[in-house]
Structure 1
Amino acid sequence: MSALVRPRDDRMIGGVCAALARRFGTTPTTMRVIFLASCLLPGPQFLLYLALWVFLPSEGSHDRKAW
């Protein structure tokens, strides 16, 4: 299983769907369709997306060093 990080490629907006697709072994397009379909249901899907965008590290961010 791969680590849950937002990839630099396959991003549309924040890379959250691409990260989840890599984690669960599906395509980013499939994950985006699932996310859009889930937004039709009541619940905090959009807030969850925003939280994952903020808290998931970007691919390659662990290589950066602090000042």
Structure 2
Amino acid sequence: MHADSDYLRKQAIRCRRLAGEIGAADVQKTLEAMATEYEARAAFLEAAQLTAERFEDDDPASA
């Protein structure tokens, strides 16, 4: 899952870079919104991975 969150964060960086290069305000706004969404999804995936790892660590059957 880590690779997925890395991909999403890279997409967010691309969107923000493009937003800075585009002159049209409506396109900038869309790209910034996309970047924010990519970052939120990456954070969700990372949190889910951490939660899963904690449950694996606490699972007596895995010991």
TM-score (norm 1): 0.39
Kindly indicate which of the two structures has a greater share of residues assigned to helix.
2
TM-score (norm 2): 0.40
Higher relative contact order (CA 8 A, sep 6+): 2
